[in-house]
Amino acid sequence: MRLLRICSLALAAALVSAACADVADDGAAEASSTSAPTRPEPTSGPIGDGAVQTAEPSGPWDLVLTDVEVSSRGAGDRLVLTFAGSGRPGWSVGPVDRPAQDGSGDLVRLDGDSYLDVYASGTVLPAADDARAYRVPARIAPSRGRVAEVNLVGTFEGYTQVLVGLTGEAPDVDVTALARPPRLVVDLGG
């Protein structure tokens, strides 16, 4: 009985501690490192200033990359990652100074003047005999547009990494996740 009371008090203290917030010098509340993470809202717009756009996936983490398309349209380009599975992929898209492989940190050779690091979340490694899966690593060199090269790096711990080399500076980027089939659409400029 005494052990149960001690465990209950320890649990209550941990919950109270997790619910507390630290107050920053400017008076704004800052979440404690033990509080639950918040889900970022989807974002879009210029990323040349170093901003990273993010959104969480919906549905089970069972998406397998099946196709990659790069196209030019009007004043911009479009990268479409298509998946098999259910739900919608999440994403993290942002500029990087030096393209590197997630996990190892190895630098990746990539044509272009500026670079985007695109992560699709909610993904899994395909089975070795999964004929629908897109084989990575792979490189795509589009024949026109601002996209100089795309390097499909691979999937690591639920995230599929794609590096994009661009001619010129990083443009405005709009990212959209779609279902049926699950797709991640990255519009570059235009």
In angstroms and rounded to an integer, the radius of gyration of the C-alpha atoms of the chain is 20
What residue has token string 């098999």? Answer: 84
| Contact (Cβ atoms closer than 8 angstroms) between residue 52 and residue 92 | yes
- In this structure, what are the phi and psi dihedrals at residue 9, rounded to the nearest 5 degrees? -65, -40
Whole-angstrom distance, CA of residue 1 vs CA of residue 155: 49
For the chain, what's the residue count?
A: 190
Cβ within 8 Å of residue 28, ≥6 positions away:
none
Q: In this prediction, what percent of the chain has a pLDDT beyond 90? A: 48
Beta bridge partner(s), residue 152? 138, 162
Residue 190: pLDDT band with limits 50, 70, 90: low
Condensed to tens digits (0 to 9), the pLDDT of residues 65-94 reads 999 999 998 889 999 999 999 989 999 999
pLDDT per residue as tens digits for the range 116-153: 999 999 999 888 888 888 877 788 988 789 999 999 99
Task: Evaluate if residue 97 carries a pLDDT over 70.
Answer: yes
